[in-house]
Structure 1
Amino acid sequence: MKFKAVLFDLDGTLVNSLIDIADSINKVLQENQLPTHSYEVINNFIGSGLRVLVTKALPETHRNEENIEKFFQAMMLHYRNNCTNKTIVYDGITELLKELKSRNIKMAILSNKADELTKKIGLTLFPDYFDIVAGLKSEATKKPNPEAAIRICHDLECTTEEVLYVGDSDIDMQTAKNAKMFAVGVTWGYRPEEELLSEGAQSIISHPLELIELL
């Protein structure tokens, strides 16, 4: 099989955004006299979108719809203005993107982060590489629902079998499987290798440039 495109997750795959995310939710919690969390704990909250992260970060006694919405909006207000402060590109990613571009491989980003924020981070840190940058527009199409991934393939004029899906979480591997893409798990992100393999990773890479071998 000749792969014609690569679809990347964002957080934990292309960029380490943990500190900016954690600082935003902790600021909101602190302002409301609620317990904050360590980076290690918040690391385990990432992957299913910021609303889910907010829900997990709140004490169980505060997890009602009114509070979730209130804290979600407060976090979004802070994070929107600070989402690229301390977010960094993983080592080797820029070199990988340059190599893929030189080979005329099409590239896209699909994240469970809100579409507005995905575009801001993706286009700020990677202005020259991606054909499509897409985030979450509707809870109904949140990964591992394959709908958005399949739509991106259509827009890239590829079949799903011609796409490498690269991600760092169980959600990503499930999405790739549901979309019938080749699932590549990365070990530098937020989840362990064992989780990626158990959820269907067809290949595991420990450095971005290892992806070239799969082409």
Structure 2
Amino acid sequence: MGRYEALVFDLDGTLIDSAPDIAASVNQVLERRGWPVQSVAFVEKFIGFGPRRLLLDLFVELGLPSDDATVDEAVREYLANYARSPAERTLFYPHVREDLEFLHRTGIRMGICTNKPQDLSLKVLDILGIAPLFEVVVGADAAPACKPDPAHLLAVSGRMGLDGLSWAYVGDTKVDQATAQAARVPFYAVSWGGGGEVAVAPEWRLDRLRDLGANSEPVRVGQGG
């Protein structure tokens, strides 16, 4: 058995580069209202807190109407756009798929904790062909509270029955880091996507996911980041 008995992963920015599909869905919302479309890089800055926060923060940044009614309508439209084409432009980060398959083969149990809505998360994982690798997937709308609230991550661990087991959370944002710290769970930041902007000690930065399957002693819960 490797370093951990189980691993929980963030999805967007950690396992997959979904920013192009998210940006395309956002731009359909903007274009329909006659507002200027934005680059993938610009939209990507607002990913991490879920769809409503994504659109609200983006509208505020652009000086667009951001009242509740406008944002609520935009969220509904965005989700419908995204559901129609959830993975047309989405790609795995290098080595991620093979590393997930390696970890699965070695017997490490895996789950996902994501601020993407539940149905969209399951649909994307199915399209990409990795759904069978994960025991539990909990999107933002399927949890008692969403990240950075630790209840989201603990909902995943509870459904997986990880109490007393050695496990860690892997992500790419400060939101993920704060979630793990609040849940008192070891946290690793990936080196790709936005992960390089998360301040962690070198031993908590991952260049390959498969490194968590290396034979070594597990780190005590409460460390990391």
TM > 0.5 fold call: yes
Structure 2 residue runs of 5 or longer lacking an equivalent are 219-225
Distance 1:140 1:108, change over 3 A: closer
Measured in 2, the distance between the counterparts of 1:180 and 1:118 equals 25
Deviation at 1:56, TM superposition (A): 2.0
- Which residue matches 1:147? 151
Distance 1:112 1:100, change over 3 A: same
User: What fraction of aligned residue pairs are identical, expressed as a percent?
Assistant: 27
Number of equivalences: 212
Measured in 2, the distance between the counterparts of 1:115 and 1:128 equals 16
Alignment of 1:126-137 (within 5 A): 126-137=130-141
- Which residue matches 2:223? none
Instruction: Say whether the 8 Å CA contact 1:18–1:39 is kept in structure 2.
Output: yes
Paired amino acid for 2:110: M
* Counterpart check, 1:21 vs 2:14: no
Structure 1 residue runs of 5 or longer lacking an equivalent are none
- Which residue matches 2:221? none
Distance 1:99 1:188, change over 3 A: same
Output the TM-score relative to the length of structure 2: 0.86
- Which residue matches 1:107? 110
Distance 1:12 1:192, change over 3 A: closer
- Which residue matches 2:211? 210
Aligned pair partner of 1:90 in 89, 93, 106? 93
Deviation at 1:196, TM superposition (A): 3.6
Deviation at 1:80, TM superposition (A): 0.8
Flag the structure with higher strand content: 1
Measured in 1, the distance between the counterparts of 2:139 and 2:177 equals 17
- Which residue matches 2:73? 70
Measured in 1, the distance between the counterparts of 2:172 and 2:178 equals 11
- Which residue matches 2:161? 157
Deviation at 1:14, TM superposition (A): 0.7
Output the TM-score relative to the length of structure 1: 0.90
Instruction: Say whether the 8 Å CA contact 2:100–2:209 is kept in structure 1.
Output: no
Measured in 2, the distance between the counterparts of 1:65 and 1:139 equals 23
Measured in 2, the distance between the counterparts of 1:151 and 1:55 equals 26
Instruction: Say whether the 8 Å CA contact 1:11–1:17 is kept in structure 2.
Output: yes
Measured in 1, the distance between the counterparts of 2:107 and 2:179 equals 24
- Which residue matches 1:167? 171
The CA RMSD over aligned residues, in Å, is 2.2
